[in-house]
Amino acid sequence: MNFDFTEKEQNLFKELQDIMTGLAGEAKLEEKDPGRSEILVRKALNRLAKTAYLKLGTIKDEDAGGLCAMMGAMETVSSYSQSLFLSIEMSARLFGRIISAFGTGEQMKRWLSPVLSGGCRGGRPFRKSDEHR
């Protein structure tokens, strides 16, 4: 991408590279086993929540950059693992945007806050019990 990113945005990209490199050193990022994949996604969400990444394009936050920063950040994360990237995006960005745009204050507190803090995967609150899988 050929944009002039701010120093703050460049620092975010560096943070994301460090997080993803760390994850890649701990586990195979293109995991096919559903159980291990779930653990990996949770671990990634937890670490990414310490940055502005999960907030980008989801909520308005001064720490989170605009859409150009979001594209650069997404490119950084996806370069490490496309399947992990898609899991993260479906959890935080897709679910997060729906709740952010249409949810009540109570719903945001109950569902959006845990997703953006890496505490749970998006869509999890609506899932039936594990016995129905």
What is the Cα–Cα distance from 62 to 17, expressed in whole angstroms? 22
**What pTM, to 2 d.p., does this model score?**
0.81
pLDDT tens for each residue of 16-68: 999 999 999 998 888 788 888 888 999 999 999 999 999 888 877 676 667 78
Average pLDDT of span 106-129:
74
Q: Give the separation between CA 58 and CA 50, rounded to whole angstroms.
A: 15
Domain residue ranges in the chain:
7-121
Instruction: Report which of residues 58 and 106 the model is more confident about.
Output: 106
CATH 1.10.540 assigned to 7-121: yes
pLDDT-based confidence at residue 131 (cuts at 50, 70, 90): very low
Q: Which residue type sits at 116?
A: L
